[in-house]
C-alpha cells in the first residue's frame, strides 16, 4: 500500500512539473509573438490598378475610406493606344482633365512589368484641357503591352495631392 501511495505521489509530481513546463512554454510563446508584433513596421496601403473586373470594388473601398485631401479625379482617356511604330504619334491616345475636376493633373506611363522606368511623362494638364497627339518618350518594339498609368493630382504648386492608377494597353504595329 505504501508503494501505491508513493507511485501516486510520483505521478502527481510529474503532472505538476509537466503543467508548469506547459505554462512556461505558453508564456514564452505569447511574449515572443507580442514582441514580433510590436516590432513590425506599419504597412501603408498601396494604390491599386483599376481595371474592369475590380473597378466597383475599388470604388466602394474609396467611398468607405476616410476623407484625406481635397480633390477627386474623373478620368476620360482612351484605354487602348495604337501606334504605327514605336516612335510615332498615336491618333487615338488621349487623356482629358474634366473641367469639373478639382485639380490639375499629370501622369506617367509604365510597362506593367517595369514600374521603375516611365515610357511617357506627360506635361501638367489643366482642368478642362486635353492631352492628345501622344508620342512615347521611350521607343517600343512591335507588340502589345500591358501598361499602368499613374495620375498625379497636383495643387497650385504642382505638389502631388494624391495619385490614381489605371491599367490600359498599348499596341505597336511595326
pLDDT in tens, 119-141: 999 999 998 899 999 999 999 99
Confirm or reject CATH 2.60.40.2550 for domain 49-172, answering yes or no: yes
pTM, whole model, 2 decimals?
0.59
Q: Is the dihedral of CA 156, 47, 56, 93 positive or negative?
A: positive
Q: Measuring CA to CA, how many Å separate 9 from each of 6, 59, 150?
A: 5, 68, 73
**C-alpha–C-alpha distance, residues 14 and 11, integer Å:** 5
Q: Which of 85-94, 144-153, 159-168 has the lowest mean pLDDT?
A: 159-168
What does the DSSP 8-state code read for residue 47? P
Buried b (16+ CB within 10 A) or exposed e, 91-121: eebebbbeeebebbbbbbbbbeeeeeebbbe
**CA–CA distance, 121 with 108 (Å, rounded to integer):** 5
pLDDT 10s digits, 108-118: 999 999 999 99
Predicted confidence at residue 43, as pLDDT, reads: 46
Task: Locate the domains of the chain by residue range.
Answer: 1-43, 49-172
| Paired strand residues for 82 | 171
Residue with cell 508584433: 37
Q: How far apart are CA 108 and CA 36, in angstroms?
A: 38
Amino acid at each position: 500500500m505504501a508503494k501505491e501511495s508513493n507511485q501516486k505521489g510520483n505521478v502527481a509530481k510529474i503532472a505538476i512539473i509537466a503543467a508548469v513546463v506547459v505554462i512556461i512554454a505558453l508564456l514564452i510563446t505569447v511574449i515572443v509573438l507580442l514582441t514580433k508584433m510590436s516590432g513590425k513596421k506599419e504597412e501603408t496601403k498601396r494604390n491599386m490598378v483599376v481595371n474592369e473586373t475590380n473597378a466597383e470594388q475599388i470604388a466602394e473601398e474609396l467611398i468607405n475610406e476616410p476623407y484625406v485631401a481635397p480633390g477627386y479625379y474623373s478620368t476620360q482617356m482612351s484605354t487602348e493606344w495604337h501606334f504605327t511604330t514605336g516612335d510615332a504619334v498615336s491618333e487615338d491616345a488621349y487623356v482629358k482633365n474634366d473641367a469639373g475636376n478639382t485639380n490639375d493633373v499629370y501622369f506617367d506611363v509604365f510597362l506593367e512589368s517595369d514600374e521603375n522606368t516611365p515610357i511617357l511623362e506627360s506635361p501638367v494638364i489643366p482642368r478642362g484641357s486635353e492631352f492628345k497627339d501622344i508620342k512615347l518618350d521611350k521607343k517600343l518594339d512591335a507588340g502589345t503591352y500591358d501598361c499602368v498609368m499613374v495620375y498625379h493630382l497636383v495643387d497650385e504648386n504642382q505638389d502631388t495631392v494624391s495619385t490614381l492608377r489605371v491599367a490600359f494597353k498599348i499596341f505597336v504595329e511595326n
